[in-house]
């Protein structure tokens, strides 16, 4: 599949902006990854569950490709598997109160997740309306933004529900 120079340039700019934002968040100490021992243990369990989810999804993706034929680009299949693993990892961390480090603020993380979700979902909708998501019956790379939007939105929903439940329990 040939890509235009503008597409490649946009992809590179997007990657550079993403790396720049992450670097800025670390520099401003917004993402200060300092966890206590209990959180480290919980994150270890979450990594384990995420790892097994990733392996299972990769096997299922491979089998589905063998049985049904090519239904998505290879990169999209990999992203779908990673998405499932990330959602399991994040959900376990959130439920076990190991998602945020000791210095991170919940509202900052919720805002960041909301912005990332909105941007990716908006790009995903534009790609869908432009007819780039499915071509010749195959899910294409243009679906990745929508997938990322759904991942971050799901993590945000789990986080908000857990946050509200914890707040209600603390008030009782």
Q: In this structure, are 80 and 158 located in the same domain?
A: yes
Q: In this structure, are 39 and 85 located in the same domain?
A: yes
Q: In this structure, are 75 and 154 located in the same domain?
A: yes
Distance CA 152, CA 122 (A): 13
Q: In this structure, are 23 and 107 located in the same domain?
A: no
Q: In this structure, are 23 and 42 located in the same domain?
A: no
pLDDT of residue 155: 94
pLDDT of residue 17: 80
Tell me the average pLDDT across 132-157.
93
Q: In this structure, are 71 and 1 located in the same domain?
A: no
pLDDT of residue 63: 96
Number of structural domains the chain divides into: 2
Q: In this structure, are 90 and 6 located in the same domain?
A: no
The 10s digit of each residue's pLDDT in 4-22 is: 777 677 778 878 887 877 6
Question: Could you please report the per-residue DSSP string of 75-144?
Answer: HHHHHHHHHHHHHHHHHHHHHTT-SS-TT--HHHHHHHHHHHHHHHHHHHHHHHHTT-SEETTEE-GGGH
Nearest to 129, CA basis, from 143, 115, 117, 119: 143
**pLDDT for residue 156 is more than 70:** yes
pLDDT top residue among 91 and 24 = 91
pLDDT of residue 9: 77
Distance CA 77, CA 166 (A): 35
Report how far apart, in Å, the C-alpha atoms of 147 and of each of 17, 24, 81, 142 are: 19, 25, 11, 10
Q: How confident is the model at residue 25 (pLDDT cuts 50, 70, 90)?
A: low
Q: In this structure, are 6 and 88 located in the same domain?
A: no
For residue 28, the 8-state DSSP code is: T
The structure tokens listed for 26 are: 């670390």
Instruction: List, as own/partner pairs, every contact residues 8-13 make where C-beta atoms lie below 8 angstroms and the sequence separation is at least 24, other chains included.
Output: none
The 10s digit of each residue's pLDDT in 59-78 is: 999 999 999 999 999 999 99
Location of structure tokens 């979450």: 46
Q: In this structure, are 158 and 87 located in the same domain?
A: yes
Q: In this structure, are 82 and 13 located in the same domain?
A: no
Mean pLDDT, the chain, rounded, equals: 86
With a CB cutoff of 8 Å and minimum separation 6, the contacts of 15 are none
pLDDT of residue 99: 80
Q: In this structure, are 5 and 81 located in the same domain?
A: no
Number of CB atoms found within 10 A of residue 93's CB:
24
Report how far apart, in Å, the C-alpha atoms of 165 and of each of 35, 95, 114 are: 22, 10, 19
Range of the domain at 19: 1-31
pLDDT of residue 158: 93
Q: In this structure, are 22 and 90 located in the same domain?
A: no
């Amino acid at each position: 599949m040939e890509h235009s120079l503008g597409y490649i340039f946009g992809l590179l700019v997007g990657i550079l902006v993403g790396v720049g934002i992450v670097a800025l968040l670390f520099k401003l100490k917004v993402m200060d990854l300092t966890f206590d021992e209990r959180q480290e243990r919980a994150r270890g369990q979450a990594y384990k569950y995420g790892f097994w989810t990733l392996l299972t999804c990769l096997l299922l993706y491979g089998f589905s490709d063998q049985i049904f034929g090519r239904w998505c680009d290879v990169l999209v299949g990999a992203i779908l598997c990673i998405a499932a693993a990330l959602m399991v990892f994040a959900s376990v961390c959130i439920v076990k109160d190991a998602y945020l480090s000791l210095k991170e603020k919940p509202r900052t993380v919720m805002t960041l997740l909301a912005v990332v979700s909105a941007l990716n979902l908006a790009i995903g909708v534009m790609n869908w309306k432009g007819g780039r998501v499915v071509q010749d019956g195959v899910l294409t790379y243009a679906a990745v933004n929508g997938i990322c939007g759904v991942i971050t939105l799901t993590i945000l929903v789990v986080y908000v529900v857990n946050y509200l439940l914890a707040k209600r329990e603390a008030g009782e």
